[in-house]
Amino acid sequence: MESSDAWPVFEDALAPELCRLGISRLDIGAVRGSDRPVTRLLARWAYLTSLASGEPAYGGVRYMSKLGPFECWAIFDGVQWNPAGQSRITKQDAAYSEACALLELVAH
């Protein structure tokens, strides 16, 4: 969703829906809007789009968080996901502590 190269594809496929939202041309402001109606529309389109074979065209979407410079992923139901690696997150992890502080969460 963050790639401006993909926006013309979205604009062509979703013109009526985007028009109803008052969007004639996609830009980063529309994609990252505060209540995310455009982001949800794009994600729904990606979720429902399939190849000629009937297989899903996309396994999920990637977008940037509105809470800071964080990358978010939404992986769609039914997608076989094999992470490259796993590691345990502890309260001492700097990134975990930073995220908790940013979101005003208490680490347990």
Positive/negative CA dihedral, 6, 29, 17, 62: positive
Please indicate, yes or no, whether the overall pTM of this predicted structure exceeds 0.85.
Answer: no
Q: What is the pLDDT of residue 34?
A: 76
pLDDT exceeding 90 applies to what percent of the chain?
31
Helix and strand element counts for the chain (H, E): 4, 2
pLDDT tens profile 73-98: 889 998 887 878 888 899 899 999 99
